Amino acid sequence: MRSPAGIEHLRVRMRAYVQRSLGVLTSIHAQGAIIVDLEGLEHGGGYYHADPRRLSTLAPEMEGISDEILSTLRGAGLRVGVAVAPQVDGDEDSQAQDLAESMAYAKQRWGTTLALMLGTPSHPQQFPGRLIGLAAMAHRDVLLISMGAYRDSSESFVPMRDPDKEGWTEDQTHPHGGFSAIYVVDRALRQPERVRAALAAGDIALVRGWFEDPGVQLIRGWTHDP
């Protein structure tokens, strides 16, 4: 894979992948695209590395390819983003600083204005809202979406919301008056009217936009409703 021939083969496949994704995203009038797996998965953990600063070490075959595919997406009029996660343990300030540095790297290299914060093996589900908020405040021009649950709230980042959980209400918004993100997969697909009402109220949808996913088909149907 990392031989010159292997890298060129990967480049050709990734170009086709991006063009296919653009067709899907255009069909639902998407505003942005986030690539979560540039650096690959942690071995045995099932977690994405989510550290663009380590791309050259973790996936050197993607070095030039990443620049090309993100430039192509941006050139098509989409906002672009990558996955991030704190790579250090310790106090919240240290973790927030690490997260902010990762966001800064992606912004400078690829012009990212989106970031998807993922869990890590040591924090699979929850990060304090203050930690996420500090990183978001350091990059006010980047929309930071927190994929995992959060223990408290901040107006500076976008939390995920699950329409299949108890306590959902169609008019529920971000605790500080902003908006939430709904990942339109699995359980969300079983509650389409709840999802549609939330989007009408100002929430945003995340879908798996690289193939004809059921979430894509659901959103497309609403997009083309008269």
Query: Which letter does DSSP use for residue 117 in this model?
Result: E
State the pLDDT at residue 122.
60
- Between 67 and 126, name the one with better pLDDT: 67
pLDDT of residue 158: 86
pLDDT in tens, 17-55: 999 999 999 999 999 999 999 998 765 566 788 999 999
pLDDT tens for each residue of 124-173: 556 778 888 899 999 999 999 987 656 555 567 888 776 655 445 554 44
CB 162 within 8 A of CB 188: yes
Terminal Cα-to-Cα distance of the chain (whole angstroms):
48
pLDDT 10s digits, 77-110: 999 999 998 887 778 899 999 999 999 999 999 9
CATH numbers and ranges of domains, the chain: 1-159 (3.20.20.80), 160-226 (no CATH)
The residue-averaged pLDDT of 2-29 equals 95
pLDDT value, residue 154: 58
**What is the spatial distance between Cα 73 and Cα 81, in angstroms, rounded to a whole number?**
10
pTM of the model: 0.88
Q: Would you say 157 and 136 are in contact if contact means Cβ atoms under 8 Å apart?
A: yes
pLDDT at 147: 78
Per DSSP, helices labelled H in the chain are 4-27, 55-58, 63-75, 92-110, 129-138, 192-200, 214-223
CA 56/CA 147 separation, integer angstroms: 25
- Residue 94 — φ and ψ, nearest 5°? -65, -40
The DSSP element (H or E) to which 45 belongs, if any, is none
Treating both helix axes as pointing N-terminal to C-terminal, what angle do 192-200 and 214-223 enclose, rounded to 10 degrees? 50
Residue 89 near residue 112 (C-beta atoms within 8 A): no
User: Residue 81 half-sphere exposure, CB side, CA atoms within 13 Å?
Assistant: 20
Which residues, including other chains, have CB under 8 Å from residue 55's CB and lie 6 or more apart?
38, 39, 62, 63, 66
Q: For 165-208, how does the pLDDT look when each residue is reduced to its tens digit (9 = 90+)?
A: 544 555 444 555 578 889 998 888 888 998 998 899 889 999 99
Give the DSSP H or E segment for 80: strand 79-84
* Residue 47 φ/ψ region, left for φ over 0, alpha for ψ in the -120 to 50 degree band, beta for the rest: beta
Residue matched to tokens 């050139």? 75
Q: What letter represents residue 47's amino acid?
A: Y
Other CB atoms within a 10 A radius of the CB of residue 74 amount to 17
Neighbours of 165 (CB within 10 A): 9
Element (H, E) at 49: none
- pLDDT for residue 173: 47
